[in-house]
Amino acid sequence: MSEKAYKSCLSTRYASQEMQYIFSQHYKITSYRKLWIYLAKSQKELGSNITDKQIAEMEKNVDKIDYEDLKVEESKTRHEVYANINIFAKLCPASKGIIHSGATSCFVTDNTDLIIIKEGLNIVLARLVAVIKELSAFALNYCSLPTLGFTHLQPAQLTTVGKRATLWIHDLMMDERNLSTCLKNLKFRGIKGTTGTQASFLDKFNGDHDKVKKLDNLVTIMAGFTESYSVTGQTYSRKVDLDVISALSSLGASIHKICTDLRLLASMKEVEEPFEQTQIGSSAMPYKRNPMRSERCCSLSRHLITLHSNAANTFANQWMERTLDDSANRRITISESFLTTDACLLTLLNISQGLIVYPKVIESHIEQELPFMATENILSAMEMAGIDRQECHEKLRILSHEASNQVKQYGKKNDLIERIKLDSYFKPIINQLHLLMDPKSFTGRAAKQVVEFYDEDIKPLLKRYHEQLKRTSVAVNLSI
């Protein structure tokens, strides 16, 4: 393609060759031809006058594609499928009369789309579970490291670095469930005819309904599916596309949330995505270590989220047995949904394999806030020592406000604990302060929750995807 022509950045920068291939012209056209072969083989098996020589001729020419010839033919016919029939017939003169016999265009276009969607879901699921695996290792490694929890983006009760990662994993596991359900429920269009009634095939088999059903089943099995949809119009229901793209879009929302958290943590210098030795963070500011991978994920996933509305509107506007205003939209929406998801997951996998944690920074942030959080523990300890609770509460309130004023007005460190130590009122619990201030005493069951979540939920999932995980690799273009 000329450098003066538009190229999608999904192809040139972000998506994998593996995902790009299943949306390529080669994959589509060879799938059309294979479907015509499946149809011919099935018709022959059921008694149609088709020879082994004709089938062999078609099989021999599946990969012989003259794209320029095809382009010229389509410009004349203004019909993609008819142009492909003519070009294939030129290559297979002995088979010319049986190619596409009894079928409508959607026999090849819709069935090919379903083949592509099936392949795409398998790729996405393998990548998604690979991310879950990496984040799980991270969560287990940091399951006990205390860190500030945040509600309203304000410091709240402590959690652990690993526990926070389980929140990300939990959402991704919901996405795995949604996508694997789509894959499980995905069926083949099969041979349904012009309006879904199978009338042309019923004519070919002289009214034999059983042969028509058998034909549908044979083609379905040859194409790698176990079932076809019981009823369709001319097309399979675009609700199928909507279900799949909804699940991909939902995954996009999960990725955006995870990478937004990582960007915030990077700003706080607590957790950082991988940063290569020669990587440039900014052309103007040499010190910058921008979280560009996470930013890329957020950028692409926002696009993925918006594609849901395209699928919903396309489905909603399918009149009666079908209308062609779905075609151009689906060419863009289905391919971009999968390519964008692929790009997001590849980048997130790269991130999750190299996350860097800075415990000392985390510790310093805890030290700024822990004195305030410890007041509840101090209050309880004083009460246990026989001190009046309400009186103690007032004492702590006054000292907390004084310490807060030092932080906010003068930029000084939080000195609440020093104030408590200097006040003889708190003498009964001074010897306990170091225990009352241990960050690990504020994290509850966080560490245990991480281990339990891994053992009970994550480990069984990883076991199911054992073979796919062995084949998953990462190849990420690190430029913006």
Domains of the chain: 13-95 (1.10.275.10), 105-144+158-358+454-471 (1.20.200.10), 375-436 (1.10.40)
- Rounded Cα distance between 86 and 105, Å, is 13
- Rounded Cα distance between 38 and 110, Å, is 15
Catalytic residues: 152, 282
- Rounded Cα distance between 453 and 168, Å, is 12
28-32: long-range contacts at Cβ-Cβ below 8 A with a sequence spacing of 24 or more?
28/112, 28/116, 29/65, 29/70, 29/84, 30/62, 30/63, 30/65, 31/108, 31/111, 31/112, 31/115, 31/116, 32/81, 32/84, 32/88, 32/108, 32/109, 32/112
Q: Residues 175, 176, 178, CA angle at the centre, nearest 5°?
A: 65
Provide the 3-class DSSP secondary structure of residue 159. Answer: strand
| DSSP string for 307-372 | HHHHHHHHHHT--TT--GGGHHHHHHHHHHHHHHHHHHHHHHHHHHTS-EE-HHHHHHHHHHHHHH
Which residues of the chain are modeled with pLDDT < 50?
A: 280, 282-288, 475-476, 479-480
Beta-ladder partners of 188: 228
Contacts for 455 with CB less than 8 Å, ≥ 6 apart: none
Supply the angle between the helices 375-384 and 359-373 in degrees, to the nearest 10.
50
Query: Given this model, what pLDDT does residue 326 score?
Result: 87
Contacts for 360 with CB less than 8 Å, ≥ 6 apart: none
Tell me the whole-structure pTM to 2 decimals: 0.89
- Rounded Cα distance between 287 and 306, Å, is 35
- Rounded Cα distance between 428 and 381, Å, is 9
- Rounded Cα distance between 225 and 202, Å, is 23
Q: Is 319 left (phi over 0), alpha (psi -120 to 50) or beta?
A: beta
Query: Given this model, what pLDDT does residue 51 score?
Result: 94
Provide the 3-class DSSP secondary structure of residue 259. Answer: helix
Q: How many residues does the chain have?
A: 480
